[in-house]
Homo-oligomer: A and B are copies of this chain.
């Protein structure tokens, strides 16, 4: 008798809509394009699609790219990000002279959580100039603040933001946060925009109250980059690669005549292929009989109580942080101020 695994619900740590929309779903429309190696996916979730995908009604834009430390690619990503942010502002009905408060969420003392505050350093602030007269044409009022985590301030993030919004009365918010991903591949290589608000700290396991039109009373544009994964994500990804490796070699071993170059050996791991149920079972026994979700749940069940389901970040992140903060900060400046030249 085989041991049966008891499966309860558990929450997958992902903030990325692209990790949820694998197939055509009712109430969800999406389109995809590519610009010079950068992949852009625009998703609209309608009211009737909300429950299915577990994401709120609204627009979601995902920008995927490769190496942010390459100067030319970085400039290109900045341009694409700025363009799609502007498009999202328009779809949300935000006018060209609407005043904006940009908020960077997170703890700047911890690199993987520092993207929000680091972006704020690059925001061109003009709000105070509008109080003393009319600045040059081509600028709108923009203010920018950092919002540290509750453990450091003693204040709930949503309360902090609500207090400032009530006093400053901006027309809309842009909120920047580090996110969690369900895939190591996407870390620091994806920007997600949406007009549906944000759950601060959701990327790192703390559920705080939502920041959205519903709770704050003005449109909330959320911008996020996945910077962390948890240990079970790494294990789960690896099992996927093991399946592909096994399936490929099983087939290849049957016809060893076909010459394989090194690069083709790598490519088979990157391709999304169908794995036979039987192969899965052969390779991984009981574990192989579980669906991906069941497997993740089992791992969650086993690793979490012993504190092993650590949230990790790639060693190189410190070097990528400033580039990402440059893309987001200066990309926001271009989208908000017509007059900003490309510095």
Contact = CB atoms under 8 A, between A and B. Distances in A.
Interface of A: 2-3, 71, 109-113, 125-129, 131, 141-146, 148, 150-156, 159-160, 162-168, 184-185, 204, 228, 231-232, 234-235, 237-238, 241-242, 245-246, 249-250, 253, 262, 265-266, 269-270, 281-288, 298-299, 302-303, 305-306, 308, 310-316, 318-319, 343
B167 A162 contact: yes
A165 B318 CA distance: 31
A234 B237 contact: no
A22 to B, nearest CB: 20
Copies of this subunit: 4
11 contacts: A71-B343, A109-B318, A109-B319, A125-B154, A145-B155, A164-B164, A235-B235, A265-B305, A269-B302, A284-B287, A311-B314
Given A166-B163, A253-B3, A343-B71, A231 B238 contact: yes
A253 B312 CA distance: 34
Contacts of A314: 310-313
Contacts of A281: 285
A262 B304 CA distance: 13
Given A155-B168, A166-B167, A234-B235, 16 more contacts: A3-B249, A110-B316, A112-B315, A125-B151, A125-B154, A144-B152, A144-B154, A146-B148, A228-B315, A234-B312, A235-B238, A241-B306, A266-B306, A269-B306, A282-B286, A285-B285
Contacts of A110: 315-316, 318-319
Contacts of A148: 145-146
A285 B29 CA distance: 40
B311 A3 contact: no
A220 to B, nearest CB: 17
A151 B143 CA distance: 10
